[in-house]
Amino acid sequence: MFKKIRAHKPASILAIPLLLVATFVNAHSPPKEAKVYFIGLTDGAVVESPLKVKFGIEGFGITPAGTTGTRRHTAGHHHVLMDVVQMPDMDAPIPRDAKHIHFDDGETEALLQLTPGKHTLQLLLGDEQHEPQDPPLFSKKIEITVR
């Protein structure tokens, strides 16, 4: 029995750094083909308020903000950037204000109250601490007109 334990010890010591490297590489890194997008809402659309928007995601998952454990490495939660001219800092938590709307519960649709006129909408995924993934997952910015 002692022999067996000794034989396994060097292997487990080696396994620890390897596991750490693997976790670091995979942390919050969506695969290249992953994407987020608005379902059924196209650039140039003329819409009415309130506007029901549906958030699509492929190649990555949805999980509420604050998720712990390994799930946080393979999923995030949506944010709608409304009339945001410059994308927020990708290495910091996404601001929380009228232009940066968080869907903390992992919602995949929302009812947006919009004033008449032109607006831009863009989706940006965030991690358990509201920071964009690395590389970030964001949709194309679309412009809509509210009647």
Q: Where along the sequence are the contacts to Cu ion (CB under 5 A)?
A: 102, 126, 130
Distance (Å, whole) CA 82 – CA 143: 10
CB of 130 to Cu ion, least distance (A): 4
- Pick between residue 47 and residue 104 the one whose CB is nearest to Cu ion: 104
Tokens of 27: 């942390």
CB atoms within 10 A of CB 53: 20
Say which amino acid occupies 123. L
If residue 96 lies in a helix (H) or strand (E), which one and from where to where?
Answer: none
- Least Å distance, CB 139 to Cu ion, is 15
Which C-beta is closer to Cu ion: that of 103 or that of 146?
103
- Residues paired with 147 in a beta bridge: none
Whose Cβ is closer to Cu ion: residue 28's or residue 130's?
130
Q: Taking the complex as a whole, how short is the minimal distance between the CB of residue 24 and Cu ion, in angstroms?
A: 23
- Name the minimum Å distance from CB 82 to Cu ion: 14
Q: Which is nearer to Cu ion, 62 or 144 (CB)?
A: 62
- In whole angstroms, how far apart are CA 12 and each of 2, 4, 69, 101? 16, 13, 22, 45
